[in-house]
Amino acid sequence: MMSRFFSPNLVLGIAPILLVIALWQGLVSFGFAPAVLLPPPGFVFGRLLQQLVTSTFQHEIAATLIRLFAGFAIAVVLGVSIGIAAAASPAINAVVRPIVRVLAPLPKVALYPALLLLLGFGHGSKITLVAADALFPILLSTYYGASTVEQKLIWSAMAAGSSRYEILFKVVLPAAMPSILTGCRIGLVISCIVVFLAEMITSTDGLGHALVTAARTFQAVDMFVPLITISLLGLVLNGLLGVVRSYLLRGFPEA
Amino acid sequence: MKARQNGRGSNDAPHGCANDSLSGRLLAKLMPLNPRASGTEGGMTVVSARSSEWVRPVTQQDPASAIIEIDRVSQVFQTSARKDHVALSDISLTIEEGAFVSILGPSGCGKSTLLYIVGGFVSPTSGAARMKGQAITGPGPDRGPVFQEFALFPWKTVLGNVMYGPRQQGVRAAEAEAQSRALIEMVGLKGYENFYPKELSGGMKQRVALARTLAYHPEVLLMDEPFGALDAHTRTRLQNDLLNIWERDRKTVLFVTHSVDEAVFLSDKVVMMSKSPGRIRQVIDIDLPRPRRRNELLLDPRYQKYVVDIERMFDESDQAGAPA
């Protein structure tokens, strides 16, 4: 499991990151890589702070974040509703199961050229790609969670007078929440990767695009800045999801 | 994140659905009763009870006081090896309004299944169960279950759990909260309203589960080995408290247990069951004065005789039934 925020584990978690940065610094200091191609970390972080206040870079971050959030949100809504529906209805399951089996293993990035042609270079194509990639882990974990709800929770609600339909929302959905949130955590990491990838392949803005532009013009420092930014964003978003998770699962023993 | 426990609850009775897909499992959980469960076939013909010496026939002479009638109910499960397992065979039983009836038997005799049939959670393979003359076709708030596993909603607080029933019954939030707080106090958990179930001990969880069920005013309490998961001390305390609560309004209680002491201590009537196939062995009226006090009762020779007699009858049937 993830180390908790603000705990002794945080120190243990930071140590290896510092080690990587030290290694990076070492590579440059001992001349294994020329500073022009592999700029030292201090230089990159300095540049990052410098960039963060410029409106151009903020615009890149905003573009990436919009795509990431929109795609992830669509994936959560679709994944959870399809997952619950498939678990509750054999007819829906019969329809969904083959589609999932065919589409889940497909590298969704292979759809990206088609999406570009259909939806253009703007947000649409990237949001769709992110949603398509994040959907399946969320859908599958929702389905699993909804299918393994304890029988007696459902019986207790039935005896109290809840209809089947009400039980889906009042019992199955909350009872499946631990599983759903695990799917969301995986989906979020995938979203970070895919939005960056899509922007690297073809885009007019965003962090991925900034990296590719810098690489093409041999500006090594500017190449590393978006890279650090996306990992920091991923870290922050994962932390936020962790906060949401511990709030939603405050009653669950395993949380 | 570890995988959550798989769907099968700790000691679930199979719920009669052979579909092994996950989807089938949730569907089966959501609609345990299938339409063929009306159980009217054969109702006109006179069937001679196969195990007539053990079965007390459904008595019709005093229908005013009968609240639950179980009429020639049988339950056959398909095991994984595609063999039929007869869990209940030709059970007939009448439960009078306001009675505390225990179903006592060894594990695997189908006593929980019988309770689930009355609850409407499981449909019998044949025969029918009736509540106040109406065939039971599904769960309803007139029959409130309390399970051994507590089955509290982990995402709700104690108060939220207890309020669930009244809110489902359309009681306004403020009123439901007031009623629920009073019930929580009655089961001895005042001050724990905002705790989550995971923060409570087993005994406290079962108190919450009892309050949650009482909150929607069922006419019959269906208790499925409710104290089976508790330590001896907690168990005794809950038995006493249950009796105190029961003596206030004398709801009908159907209480499944494998403990002879518990059955005799609590009940007006003990239904002894034998296993494979599950049958009613004998129905024993427990003629002990109420209100019952544990310390008095344990010294009472009549209580001791009931316990010893019932244990002896189980021993005899074990010896008779064992293949050596």
pLDDT tens digit string along B132-180? 999 999 999 999 999 999 999 999 999 999 999 999 999 999 999 999 9
Superfamily of domain A57-248: MetI-like (1.10.3720.10)
Structural domain boundaries in chain A: 57-248
Contact between chains at A150 and B169 (C-beta distance less than 8 A): no
User: Within a domain: residue B205?
Assistant: no
ipTM of the complex: 0.84
pLDDT at residue B24, rounded to an integer: 61
Q: Do the Cβ atoms of B107 and B45 come closer than 8 Å?
A: no
User: Within a domain: residue B44?
Assistant: no
For the stretch B25-37, pLDDT in tens is: 677 777 655 434 3
A167 CB neighbours in chain B (<8 A) are 30
Average pLDDT over residues A69-87: 97
User: Within a domain: residue B26?
Assistant: no
Contact between chains at B169 and A160 (C-beta distance less than 8 A): yes
User: Within a domain: residue B172?
Assistant: no
Structural domains of chain B, count: 1
Supply the range of the domain harboring residue B298: 49-142+218-321
Min Cα–Cα distance to chain B from A174, Å: 7
> Tell me, what CATH number does B236's domain have?
3.40.50.300
Looking at mean pLDDT, say which of A11-15, A86-90, B40-44 comes out highest: A86-90
- Start-end of H helices in A160-176: 164-167, 173-175
> What is the pLDDT confidence band of residue A154, given thresholds at 50, 70 and 90?
very high
Closest CA to B208 of B267, B163, B248: B163
For the stretch B107-137, pLDDT in tens is: 888 899 999 999 999 999 999 999 999 999 9
Min Cα–Cα distance to chain A from B91, Å: 23
Residue B297 in this model has a pLDDT that exceeds 70: yes
Say which of B9, B23, B165 has its CB closest to residue A147: B23
User: Within a domain: residue B151?
Assistant: no
User: Within a domain: residue B33?
Assistant: no
Say which of B9, B139, B196 has its CB closest to residue A151: B9
Min Cα–Cα distance to chain A from B155, Å: 5
The residues that bridge with B94 in the sheet, in sequence order, are B69
**Most B CBs within 10 Å: which of A1, A151, A172, A252, as the mutation test of the B interface?**
A151
Alpha-carbon gap, residue B121 to A153, rounded angstroms: 12
User: Within a domain: residue B176?
Assistant: no
pLDDT at residue B3, rounded to an integer: 39
